[in-house]
Chains A and B, each alone.
Chain A
Amino acid sequence: DTAVSQTPKYLVTQMGNDKSIKCEQNLGHDTMYWYKQDSKKFLKIMFSYNNKELIINETVPNRFSPKSPDKAHLNLHINSLELGDSAVYFCASSLTSGTGGKLFFGSGTQLSVL
């Protein structure tokens, strides 16, 4: 049973479209994250939610909107997709926001914007 699962695994879409990526964790963790791995392979934090509350927003364009209906789910909506949004997006969770940084990652969503 997957601890952190995100869907879809692959997403190919046209510029200007709106898309969503879903994430769920069954670990009972309080904190969830979205990370982006760009073409240069850096893994960068985008958002962090603690028990459904946004605690970190790392200067991500407001075309990206996370939504956390409950602490087990953190979805990512992206409006008006641009070529530069092509990347791998990883969802992750941790027990709390201060647990030494031990994150559990999903398997990633490869987004390709054409």
Chain B
Amino acid sequence: DQQVKQNSPSLSVQEGRISILNCDYTNSMFDYFLWYKKYPAEGPTFLISISSIKDKNEDGRFTVFLNKSAKHLSLHIVPSQPGDSAVYFCAARSNTPLVFGKGTRLSVIA
């Protein structure tokens, strides 16, 4: 039972353009959402998060949007850079350990 779904396994974007990574969830009790970034042979690293009481959180080139009614969140990266090429995991929690999606592999092409 996948409570956190990332339906796009991969995404390719031109350098300088916007990258949009999507995530859907099924558990309406989730109250905190996070994005992690993972390079090969490394562990995931925290990127940005958002509480369920907000609909947007911005940190530099990274913005996370939350649509609670649709149970959907997205990560926007603008402008995309080659160093952003990695696997991005969406994660959520509700008084529980983090539940992760399967990840989306982002390739930023120079």
**Interface positions of A (Cβ within 8 A of B):** 4, 9, 33, 40-45, 48, 56, 58, 90, 92, 98, 100-108
Contacts and interface: CB of A to CB of B under 8 A. Distances in A.
B102 A105 contact: no
A42 B102 contact: yes
A62 B103 CA distance: 29
A44 B4 CA distance: 12
B93 interface: yes
A92 B98 CA distance: 11
Contacts of B34: 100-102
Contacts of B98: 45, 101, 103
B88 to A, nearest CB: 12
A98 B98 CA distance: 11
Nearest to B92: A101
A22 B88 CA distance: 26
Interface in B53-81: none
B54 to A, nearest CB: 13
Interface string B71-110: 0000000000000000001010101011110110000000
Nearest to A98: B95
Interface of B: 2, 32, 34, 36, 41-46, 49, 51, 89, 91, 93, 95, 97-100, 102-103
A67 B41 CA distance: 25
Contacts of A43: 44, 89, 100
Given A33-B97, A48-B97, A100 B43 contact: no
A80 B89 CA distance: 31
16 contacts: A40-B102, A41-B102, A43-B44, A43-B89, A45-B97, A45-B99, A90-B43, A92-B43, A100-B93, A101-B49, A101-B91, A103-B46, A104-B45, A107-B41, A108-B42, A108-B43
Would you list the 5 A-B pairs with minimal beta carbon distance, nearest first?
A: A105-B43, A43-B100, A45-B97, A101-B93, A101-B98
